[in-house]
Structure 1
Amino acid sequence: MRTLSFAKGHGTLNDFIVTVDRHDNRPLSAEDVRLLCDRRAGIGADGVLRAVVAKEIPDWGGDPAIWFMDYRNADGSIAEMCGNGTRVFGRYLLDNDLVSGREVEIGTRAGVRRLTFHSDGSISTAMGPVIIADEPVQVALNHGAATFDASKVDVGNPHAVVLLGPDDDLNALDLTQPPVWTPPEAFPHGVNVEFVQRIDDDHLAMRVYERGAGETMSCGTGVVASASAHARAHGSGSGHIRVDVAGGVLSVDLTGDEAILRGPAVIVGRGEFLLPD
C-alpha cells in the first residue's frame, strides 16, 4: 500500500482533493484518481489537484519556480484548466506557507494564471482571454429529446454554452446523462456543457455537466464561459456579472482581453489515504 497525504477543499461546493508532490516523485495513475474521487470507496471529489514545482513538468516553458496545478477529472482524465480548482489550490498553498503575498502566479496546462487573495477571504483568478467561435454547435439531452443551440467557448478548456430562452426551465433539465453535441468534431476531446438562465442583464443562473465528472455543483471556467457568451449575445464585451450556481455565487469581471473570476475557496479537512500498489 502507498500512503497519500491530502487535504480536501471546495469552491462553491465544487470539491477537490489536494496533494503535494514537489518533485514529481509520486505521479498518480488514472486508476488512483478514480479511487480517490470515488464517493463511496474513496475520499470523494470532482477532481484531484496535485502541486508540483513547475520545473519538474515536462515541456514547461515558464517560470520554473512557481507551483504547477496538475489537475485530473474524477474519471482520471487530464484537464487543461479548472477555475474553481485554481482558488482551492491557491488557498491550500497560502494556508501552508507555500506561497506568500497578496498575488501569486501558478502554472496550469492552459498557461500561467494569476491569483489575488482578498481581505474577505475570496480569491480572484485572472483567467486570460475568452474565445467565442462563430461556428454553430448544437447540444442534445435525453438522446435528442431536447435540442439547443450553443456557443463554442474556449477558456483554456472547451465549453458549449446554451443560453436558455425565457420559457425554458433551468431546473427541469435532466443532466443525469451526458449531453451529446453536433458536429462531433467540434469537441474531439469532450466538452463542458453549461445551461444558462438570464435573471437580468448582469445576473445569471447556471447548471453544468462537466466532462469526466458529470453534473457538478459549480464550474469556474463554465461560469466565465457563460458570462462571456451572455455578454456577447447582448452586444457587450465587458461588465460585472453575477452567476448563481447550485453551490453558491461567483462573479466575473469582463474587459476587452481578460476575464476575472472571483469567489470563495475553503479547505475543510486533511488526512491520509491508502492507495493500493
Structure 2
Amino acid sequence: MPHHFSALDALAGTPVTKAHATGNDFVMLADADGRYSVDADQVAALCDRHLGIGGDGLIRAVPAHRSHDAAAEELLSTAGLSSTDEAPLWFMDYRNGDGSIAEMCGNGVRAFAHFLLAEELIALEEGQELTILTRAGLRTVRKVAEGYAIGMGIWSFIDPELAQNNASDALVMARGLEDPRPALSISMGNPHTVVALPEAETLEALDLTEKPTVDPVPPHGTNVEFVVPGEPLVEDGVGHVRMRVHERGVGETMSCGTGACAAAAAVRVWAAQDGVDTWAVQVPGGDVMVRFIPRQDGAEDVELSGPAELVMSGTLR
C-alpha cells in the first residue's frame, strides 16, 4: 500500500478522467503542455482497482511535438509529420494497466477521441475525421451515429508462411481446456493470437484469471482471443463472432478493439468467408463492428466502430 501512495505523490493535483469503450476502461490524462512524465509505477498505481482509480490502461493525450516520447518523435521525424501548438497532432500515449508501454488499443482510440472532444481540445462533427498518432502509426477517427469509427490500418499474419499453409501457427492452452488448441497469430499493429472454440459453453467455462500459454509466443508477447463463430455465421451479409480476450500486461478485459479486428480476420481465414466484409463482434462489454476494406495492393484496411463513454472526472489527492 505505501508503494502505491508514494507512486502517486508526484501526481497530486492532476486532473484525471475515467472512460470506457464497451467495458475496456482507461484512466485519461490531458497533457496539452507536455508537463507530465508518467512512469510505470504511477500507471500501475492509478490503474489498480483497489488502491487507485482502476483501469485496463492509462492514456495520456499530448501533442506529438510535446510528448517527450521516443516513438512519437521518431514517427514525426521519419514520416515528415507536422505538429505545432497552433495545429497539434494528438499523440495517444497508451500504457497497459501494469505500466508497460503498448503500441495502441482500438477501444482506447475511441475513448481517446471522445475525451479530446469533451476536453474541447478538438472539434469533431458527425461525419468528420480526425488523424491521431499512436505508437503503431497514424490512425483516423470518424464521428458516426453509434460513436466513433477508427481506421485501424492493415491486418497481417505474424507468420505468413505458417498461417497460409495451415491456418494455424501456434498452440494455446488455458484453464478450462483439456488440450492445447491450434491458433492463428495476427498483427493489428500489436500482436494477437486467436483460438476458435466449438461452442459458447466452452467459451464461458474458460478461467482467464491465469495467463494462457502460447507456443511459440510472438517476439513481443501477445494478446489471446478465444472466439466462437455465430450460428449462423453470416446473416444478412454480416458475420457474427463472440469473443473473450486476455490482454498482455492486463489480464482478461471486457473488450479489446484490435482483438475484435484480429478475431474477425481469423474467422474469415478459417471459414473462407473473405467475401464478407462486415462483422459484428460480441464481447462481454457490448458489441463492436469490424469492416474490411480491400486495397489495390491486395492487402486490407480494417475499420472498427462502436461507442465510448466518460464515467467521471476528478483531481488526484
Q: Same fold (TM over 0.5)?
A: yes
Give the corresponding residue for 1:122: 147
Question: Greater relative contact order (Cα 8 A, min sep 6): structure 1 or 2?
Answer: 1
1:34-49 equivalences under 5 Å are: 34-49=44-59
Shift of 1:212: 0.7
- Check whether the contact 2:177–2:206 (CA below 8 A) recurs between aligned residues: no
Give the corresponding residue for 1:70: 93
1:13 counterpart = 2:23: yes
* Structure 1 residue corresponding to 2:228, chosen from 183, 190, 197: 197
Counting helix residues as a fraction of each chain, which structure ranks higher?
2
The amino acid of 1:157's aligned partner reads N
1:231-242 equivalences under 5 Å are: 231-237=268-274, 238-242=276-280
- Check whether the contact 2:196–2:226 (CA below 8 A) recurs between aligned residues: yes
The root-mean-square deviation of aligned C-alpha atoms, in Å, is 1.7
Deviates more, 1:202-211 or 1:159-168: 159-168
* Structure 1 residue corresponding to 2:219, chosen from 181, 188, 206: 188
- Check whether the contact 1:20–1:51 (CA below 8 A) recurs between aligned residues: yes
* Structure 2 residue corresponding to 1:59, chosen from 33, 50, 74: 74
The amino acid of 2:75's aligned partner reads W
1:258 counterpart = 2:301: yes
Query: How many correspondences in the alignment?
Result: 271
The amino acid of 1:63's aligned partner reads S
Normalised TM-score (structure 1): 0.93
Identity %: 40
Q: 4+ residue stretches of structure 1 with deviation over 6 A?
A: none
- Check whether the contact 1:239–1:254 (CA below 8 A) recurs between aligned residues: yes
Shift of 1:22: 2.1
- Secondary structure, counterpart of 1:60 in structure 2: helix
The amino acid of 1:213's aligned partner reads V
The amino acid of 1:198's aligned partner reads P
- Check whether the contact 1:207–1:245 (CA below 8 A) recurs between aligned residues: yes
Give the corresponding residue for 2:38: 28
Larger Rg: 2
- Secondary structure, counterpart of 1:28 in structure 2: coil
Give the corresponding residue for 1:146: 179
Shift of 1:122: 1.1
Q: Matched residues in 2 for 1:204 and 1:121: separation?
A: 19
Deviations 1:113-150, CA, capped at 9 Å, x for gaps: 000111x3411101011002343111111398531111
